[in-house]
Structure formats: structure tokens, C-alpha cells
Amino acid sequence: MSTFAAVDVITAKRDRGELSAEQIDWVIDAYTKGDVAEEQMSALLMAILLNGMSGPEIASWTTAMLNSGIRLDLSGVGRPTVDKHSTGGVGDKISLPLAPLVAACGAAVPQLSGRGLGHTGGTLDKMESIDGWRAMLSPAEMIAQLTSVGAVICAASADLAPADRKLYALRDVTGTVESIPMIAASIMSKKIAEGTDALVLDVKVGSGAFMKRADHAAELARTMVELGAREGVRTTALLTDMATPLGVAVGNAVEVAESVEVLAGGGPADVVELTIALAREMVALAGLDSDPAEVLRSGRAMDSWRRMVAAQGGDPDAALPTPKHREVVVAEASGVVSRLDALSVGVAAWRLGAGRARREHAVQQAAGILCLAKPGDTVTVGQPLFELHTDTPERFSLALADLADAVTIAAPGTVVDPFPLVMDVIRAD
């Protein structure tokens, strides 16, 4: 590999130049090995945030991060492989019912997931509410479970795109998280490394999402779809609404309980709708002729869930954690709920202990919020709007402050036209 001077790479991007594939390969490799200093990579990341990257640059950056580690070989699992990635939201428990549902349709779903940070919940944190369940699997264990069960939800191995792990931590402390090229490369390097044949992206839009604007979300989605196509991974992206929390439950154990309701044939309509919409895209990319809605009704997805949980040491029949303290927030006026702000609810759940401010912090499995009225619902004075859960009651005051302006109640009889849950679908050309 050619050797470059870090300062030359930094100044090239500072001056709005286009980095060559050789420069990108070198700087990613050198930074991963510790030969490029943190302050130098920080300067380069800020230059990228301010000046952007071309399509070829983003592709080269993604490939360089992908090549910093191993790439799993899932060719022996005996089923077509397809995964889903969400950019994160409030009440976004969709991976939990989705993975076993798509497995019941005949695919293998290698759902490598992460932990929550800030107001967006982490899939692994939710799953760890289940007694005995373990997140850490070796690649061999993961492949064996995909072969026997068809679905796995687990932590990504440290050997997958290790450059991204190091860069992600640096972006978090240098104010460079918002770079669309960096977000796209971060997500896609990890997803391509896991070896799946196909991928469906759930790109959230709205107050509770990372992308607040639809045009920014669409740009991110298109970039990721193109990156997948370049690497031979069939990729589709859905832009979905995150102005309002998904479902009723926001937290950890409460979201597991709601996911099980969906698998049992119930659950909130929006959670069911998005689960089926994503499943249909995944099944189509996998080349399978199966109707996810019918499979969900049949109970086969619940069977897959129970096998998946048990395979990772969990007890699917165990009682989920319950909070030591609860508090109810009631409506101060009668009328129609016209707005329920996802960000406010997400932050309040974080305050209660459902999330973490730093990666090393623990979460409370029983903490969370039940959203008891959603946009379009009619409420009366004194009717419960939220039920707050925590093991540490001193957290209630801050959470209540976050929820003070979370709900708008319009005059009785007001007609609320909700945003469509699936706003757009972006496919490779």
C-alpha cells in the first residue's frame, strides 16, 4: 500500500479536493493501526462534514472500512439471506417481530444489532430483558443458528469493520456525526461485512429520527442503496415516519412485550403495518413467494421467535421485568390528540433509565413509557396520556418536564390526517 502524509490528505479535503481510492485506503488503514493521530483524523472528518464527498469517495471509504476486518460467509446456511437496518427511532422494536417473521417465510435473517445511545433505543438492550438471553455469539454460533432456526439477533463481532468502530467513537466526540457520507459508509460497511445477500433499510424521518428532514433522509437512503448495489448486495430503502413514536411502548421490557403481542396476532396497528411492509420487501429481495401477513396470522412467526430466543439461552416463557415505580400523566383538556412528539417521548424514556448517555452506562430493563393516546384519539380531561416506568423515582421530575409539551390536544371533533407510515420506497436503478 502506498504511503501518504496525513496532513496532505487533510488539506486536500479541506480545499474541496477529491480524495483518491489510494489515499482513502491508506488513511483508514493507518488510522485503524494507530499511525494517524486522533487529532488528524478529527480534522479530516470535519473537512468531510463541511465539504462532502463524491459518490466514488463514499464507495472507496466504505470499501476501506469493510476491508479493515473480516467478511462473514453465509453461503452455507441453506436459505437466502436478507437483513434489515433501521436508522433508529422511538418505540422502534420492529426487528423483534420482523426477524422471526421473515425466517418463518423461508429466509435467514442475520440481524446484527447494537445498543441504544441517547433517545433511540437499542435492540440488544430490549432483548436482554429476556431472562438468560445472550447477545454475544461467535460467527460459528451465529451461522449454526441461522441454519437451524433461520433468525438471529446478536451483537456484531469486533472483527467486522473495526475501522468503523473506532471512527464512530471519534465522530461522536468531534461533532461530525451528521455527515451523510459518514453515516452511509458506517452503516453499509457493517451490513456488507455480515455477508447477507440482500438488505432492506428503514430510514426514519421526523422529530424522533436522526434525519429530521425528508430530503436529507432520501439522500442518505439513495447513497446507501447505491453502496449496496456496488458491493452486490440487493438493497432497498423505505423512508418511514418518526414524528410520532411507534406503537404504545417505549423502553426495553415493555417493547419486548409489545413485540410478542404482534407475533401473537395483536399489537398496535402501526407496528403491525411497518413489520409487514418491511417483511414484504425482505421476502421479495430474497426471491421467496410467501405472504408475511398470512404467515403472521398462522402463528409460525411466533414459533420462530420462541426458537430464536431459546437458541440464545433465553426463556421465552419467563416473566419480563416490571418497574418498582409508576406514574401516570393525564390530559388537562378534552379534545383530539393532534400531535405526539417522538423526540420528547424518547428523551423522557431515556431520563427514566431506558437509555444511556454514554456507551459504558447500564440501562434499566423495566424503565420506559406507555403512550396511552396517539394522534387521532379523542381524550377527556383526566384521561391517562402516559404511564411512566422506572426503578428510580427521582427520575420522574425530569421525565415529566420533557413530556410537558409532548402532546397537543385540539378542539373536539378535529380531524387529524396522519402522515403515511411508509413515506417512500427507494430501490436500486
Is 230 considered catalytic here? no
Q: Give the mean pLDDT of 48-53.
A: 97
Q: Structural domain boundaries of the chain?
A: 6-52, 82-157+172-181+191-318, 325-410
Q: What is the pLDDT of residues 159-190, one digit of tens each?
A: 899 999 899 889 988 989 889 999 999 999 99
Evaluate if residue 118 carries a pLDDT over 70. Answer: no
Is 60 considered catalytic here? no
pLDDT of residue 406: 98
Is 298 considered catalytic here? no
Catalytic residue among 171, 204, 230, 389: 171
Is 164 considered catalytic here? yes
Closest to 183 measured CA to CA, from 118, 227, 215: 227
6-52 and 325-410: identical CATH topology:
no
Alpha-carbon distances of 68 from 42, 61, 104, rounded to whole Å = 19, 11, 34
Catalytic residue among 13, 190, 351, 395: 190
Is 186 considered catalytic here? yes
HSE of 255, CA atoms in CB hemisphere, 13 A: 34
Strands 109-113 and 151-155: parallel
Closest to 92 measured CA to CA, from 116, 73, 75: 116
**CA gap 324, 164 in Å, rounded:** 38
Domain range 325-410, CATH class: alpha beta
Q: What is the pLDDT of residues 265-305, one digit of tens each?
A: 999 999 999 999 999 999 999 999 999 999 999 999 999 99
- Sign, CA dihedral 230-422-119-142, equals negative
Q: Residue 1 — pLDDT band, cuts 50, 70, 90?
A: low
Whole-structure pTM value:
0.95
Q: Residues of the chain with pLDDT > 70: what percent?
A: 99
Q: What is the pLDDT of residues 140-162, one digit of tens each?
A: 999 999 999 999 999 988 889 99
| DSSP helix/strand/coil, 407 | strand
Are the C-beta atoms of 294 and 106 separated by less than 8 Å? no
Catalytic residue among 85, 191, 389, 395: 85
Catalytic residue among 25, 83, 164, 341: 164
Q: Residues of the chain with pLDDT > 90: what percent?
A: 90
* 3-class DSSP string for 350-392: HHCCCCCCCCCCCCCCCCEEEECCCCCCEECCCCEEEEEEECC
Catalytic residue among 68, 157, 186, 304: 186
C-alpha cell belonging to residue 233? 448486495
Which residues are paired to 340 by β-bridges?
Answer: 407
Q: Please, which contacts does 230-233 make with residues 24 or more away whose CB atoms are closer than 8 Å?
A: 230/59, 231/62, 231/63, 231/66, 231/188, 231/192, 233/191, 233/192, 233/196, 233/197, 233/198, 233/199
Among the four given CATH numbers 3.40.50.720, 3.40.1030.10, 3.40.50.300, 3.90.1300.10, the one describing domain 82-157+172-181+191-318: 3.40.1030.10
Domain range 6-52, CATH class: mainly alpha
Q: Residue 419 — pLDDT band, cuts 50, 70, 90?
A: confident
Q: Give the mean pLDDT of 80-95.
A: 96
Q: What is the pLDDT of residues 200-221, one digit of tens each?
A: 999 999 999 989 999 999 999 9
